[in-house]
A and B are shown apart, each in its own frame.
Chain A
Amino acid sequence: MNEFIEAQVSFGWEDLRSSYDVVIVGGGGHGLSTAYHLATRHGITNVAVLERGYIGSGNSGRNTTIIRANYGIPEAVRFYQRSVDLYSRLEEETGRWIMHDRKGLLWLVHGTPGTRHERARSIVNQAFGADTVYVTPEEVRQICPDVDLNAGGGEFRVTGGSYSPHAATARHDRVVWALAEGAMKRGVHVHQRAAVTGLLKSGDRVTGVLTDRGPVAAGVVVSAVGGHVSTLAAMAGVRLPIRTHPLQAFVTNHYARSFRPIVASAGMGFYVSQTPRGEMLLGSAIDRQPSYSYRSSYEFLSYCSLPAVTLLPFLRNLTILRQWAGVCDMSVDMSPIMGYTGVDGFLVTTGWGTWGFKGIPAGGEQMAELIATDRTPELIAPFSLNRFKEDRLLFDPGSTGTTH
């Protein structure tokens, strides 16, 4: 069997039409998920997804594929738990193997404030539908014997943590292609190598997009753009509370043993999981100043590796195989922004920062409902762009898994 999912999917590529009911800019997970849910849940198929590169070539193909709902605020727990539930049904629904693997996540802390925080997280999670529990150091050892509970000679002693059995990983390009296929089978057009260069406007209203293949009229334009979103939004006259920061990650060579849970330590500033190929996949903090550069750095390898080998000593014996970077649309309160923008005909699903992959199914489902009904669904109402003006920020930096 050909391992490349592109070779398995069955659909044809269509020519770009001059008009669609919905034009989605950005063929990543969120853009394709919105199209998929428009087609499957609402029968809206006169839809185009425009992607400047190839689908999944942005952050959807550069993330660390972690799916979890262990957030610290009710709005986020509810939203991400919906996404966790949709992910667990996605293989059955699409008929495509996305390599969904429910392996659990250990979120470790080193000291009293962290311990208190994880107790609070567990309570908030359970109250709003996620199965996160507080764990003692002894339980940490049972779940993941590789963790050095006395890490760094006691400097990073593990004092507890939280465990989320629901957490999973999935193969990111399979998710992208499964959603693309599901949408295209039902009549949605996905156009690769179709760059949006401007917006068509009539008065204050956005009425379509300009592409390098000509203008395309649209009933509604949805920005599902990643790091470059501010540039597109500026064309519509929309200001966003977003800075674009690079996020880097790397994988090691093959580790011969199975490493089951995802392990994260916000205090030490890294997280790790094992890919289906057996590589250890590590991520850490975003680059500290905003940038659109995809450059990888030695500095990142060094500041990510040191805490990793301190907490998980077996990693010392592995070597780094490759590294990469993505440019992330970081919202100022570290929560996504979905819905209306104040400009008619222009919607956004943005601010997905370093937490976008896990939100793909629910983000697309909710945006599709918003487009189809022209009403903001209750689940994503708190995530509107208006929250900044109304001083209802959803500040939850401790749950993003990276340090900021």
Chain B
Amino acid sequence: MVLRLDCPHCGSRPVEEWVYGEVPDPPDYLTGAEERDVDRGFMMSNTEGARQERWFHAGGCRRWQTIGRDTTV
């Protein structure tokens, strides 16, 4: 059985309809404008555990949604 998510606009839909997305999260200790830009462009926290992501509902309402996910399960 495919995993289903509850979309606030479309109701229960298969997860394949969404496209994974993320939010750049440069850490506070990076203060220089250039190093923050490099971090936003290439680096990621790659968090092991619970994190907030932005997924795009490409096969449904075509809106960006914030989704919480635990990457260890």
Contact = CB atoms under 8 A, between A and B. Distances in A.
Interface of A: 228, 230-231, 234, 237, 239-244, 288-293, 299, 332, 388-389
Given A239-B27, A299-B2, A388 B71 contact: no
Given A239-B27, A292-B72, A299-B2, A388 B46 contact: no
A289 B55 CA distance: 10
B48 A231 contact: yes
Interface string B33-49: 00100110111111110
A29 B48 CA distance: 23
How big is the B interface, by class?
20 to 34
Contact of B42 (A230, A292, A293, A388): A388
* Consensus secondary structure, chain B interface: loop
Contacts of A241: 42-44
Contacts of B39: 239
Contacts, number: 50
B71 A230 contact: no
Nearest to A234: B45
Nearest to A237: B29
B38 A388 contact: yes
B2 A239 contact: no
Interface in B1-43: 2, 20, 26-27, 29-30, 35, 38-39, 41-43
A289 B20 contact: yes
Given A289-B20, A293-B73, A240 B46 contact: yes
Interface of B: 2, 20, 26-27, 29-30, 35, 38-39, 41-48, 71-73
B44 to A, nearest CB: 6
Nearest to B18: A289
Given A239-B43, A290-B46, 19 more contacts: A230-B45, A230-B46, A239-B44, A240-B44, A241-B43, A242-B46, A243-B46, A244-B46, A244-B48, A244-B71, A290-B20, A291-B71, A292-B48, A292-B72, A299-B2, A388-B42, A388-B43, A389-B35, A389-B38
A280 B34 CA distance: 49
Contacts of A389: 35, 38
Contact of A293 (B38, B44, B47, B71): B71
Contacts of A231: 46, 48
Contacts of B20: 288-290
B71 A290 contact: yes
Contacts of B27: 239
A234 B39 CA distance: 13
A332 B38 CA distance: 13
B42 to A, nearest CB: 4
Given A228-B48, A239-B27, A299-B2, A292 B43 contact: no
A234 B30 CA distance: 13
Nearest to B29: A237
Contacts of A240: 43-44, 46
Contacts of A243: 44, 46
A292 B71 CA distance: 6
Nearest to B15: A289
